[in-house]
Amino acid sequence: MDLSIPAMDLFLSSSNCSTVRFANLYYRSPAPLRRRTFAVRSTALPFPNHKAKYFRELQAAVDVVERACRLCLDVKSSLSAKSDGRIVEKNDQTPVTVADFGVQALVSLELGKLFPSIPLVAEEDSAFVRSNNLVEPVVNAVTGCLSSIDKSRTEADVLEAIDRGGKDAFVFCTKPATYWVLDPIDGTRGFLKGTEALYVVGLALVVDGEIVLAVMGCPNWKEDLRNKSISEVQGYKNILSESGIVMVAHLGCGTWARRLIFERQDTINVPHSWTRCCVDHYSLVHEARFCIPESQTWDSLPISALFNATTDANSIGDNQILLLPQCCGSLCKYLMVASGRASVFILRTRDEKTIKAWDHAAGIICVHEAGGQVSDWEGYQIDLTADQTERRIIFPLGGVLVTNGTLHNQIIEIIYRV
């Protein structure tokens, strides 16, 4: 492992960087640590295999998520030229595209080949593909991203792969289990909006109720060039606008990210190096940067009783906090907190809407391993085994709170008092 390469400061990170494990009940804020920003070559994972129990699984997850991001970009580029049957509405009125089903099929095929005994919990099923005339475009999207030995997969193979992650594919009962959790595209509305709104391919591995690794791929994450040298800035200008990041986390090994780059043939090579991800350093609630779901308003949250919100970073008044508007989907907001670009993500449970495991699993470990904390509104860890038979739904008390760790107990206290 080469640690001599200069750090690529991908994120607006802070000096507080720590690795924490899941805790029960109220979390203690992590102690400040000295800045750790260094990079390693991306020919392998950013830590040696003897440090990571699930090294092989994480390698496979990184590979398939990167190819899934490529699939998303391919489908997205075709949307502007051809829209017949490619964007439809599911029964819950959330937009879904060929990319959602294509990613689920791709991940299912690749992981099923490598780890056939590990089931997959995912969002989609093939009935919707069949009834909306999406079979051919989904199959075409998948076969274009499969490994070379799998190019001959049939329509039946692809549809079966989608159903491998569907609702009725596996019954867990109350037994301890190992399984993958996949959100094919978290933030599909962001996928449809354009390059400014984020979307994420999120994959996690759960072992006996504990998240042990995760990968999140964000194809349109924008590089912050303010701290780059002139030569670095010029190099990045030559990269396609879809350049993003892939973020990985493994229990006890930290959270890391590197560029997800698709270059033109005539561009220079930008170093593909891993950078340690750290949550931000803010310790006062009114200074923190908040994310909330697009479907919820600031006024619906308890903290609004003490603070108003503004989206104007240049004009934050007294008794106001900054609300970041640019990311869609829950995993996108976990990505923001884990990378240090946001301080807090807060979500309120609603009676009419269930909270799905795939919207949170990959993000939870990425935030934890970056030094942050995740709990429900009463301070308890998120229980992925509460849905004993299917592992598809979580039941956080009050809602979900994701923070940089330092702010966690302060916001729990505000929620309790209000």
**Identity of the amino acid at 162:** I
Place of tokens 């009676």: 351
Residues sharing a CB contact under 8 Å with residue 115, sequence separation 6 or more, in sequence order: 57, 60
Catalytic residue among 19, 97, 100, 143: 100
Q: Are 5 and 270 in contact (CB under 8 A)?
A: no
* Known catalytic membership, residue 188: yes
**Is 183 known to sit in a ligand binding site?**
yes
CA distance 67 to 90: 25
Consult the annotation and say whether 185 binds a ligand.
Answer: yes
Find out whether 123 is annotated in a ligand binding site.
yes
- What the block records as the tokens of 20 is 């924490």
| Residue 185 contacts residue 104 (beta carbons within 8 Å) | no
Q: At what angle do helices 98-114 and 55-79 cross, to 10 degrees?
A: 160
Task: Say how far apart CA 115 and CA 203 lie, in whole Å.
Answer: 14
**Rounded Cα distance, 12 and 15, in Å:** 10
Between CA 229 and CA 266 the distance in angstroms is: 21
Q: List the catalytic residue out of 19, 97, 143, 188.
A: 188
Contact 54, 47 (CB under 8 A): no
Q: 314-322 long-range contacts, Cβ below 8 Å, gap at least 24? A: 319/286, 320/286, 321/285, 321/286, 321/287, 321/288, 321/289, 321/290, 322/288, 322/289, 322/290
The contacts of residue 256 (CB under 8 Å, 6+ apart) are 45, 46, 47, 247, 248, 249, 274, 275, 276, 277
Cα dihedral sign, 186-188-192-196: negative
Q: Which residues are catalytic?
A: 100, 188
Residues at the binding site are 123, 183, 185-186, 359
Residues at the binding site for Mg(2+) are 123, 183, 185-186, 359
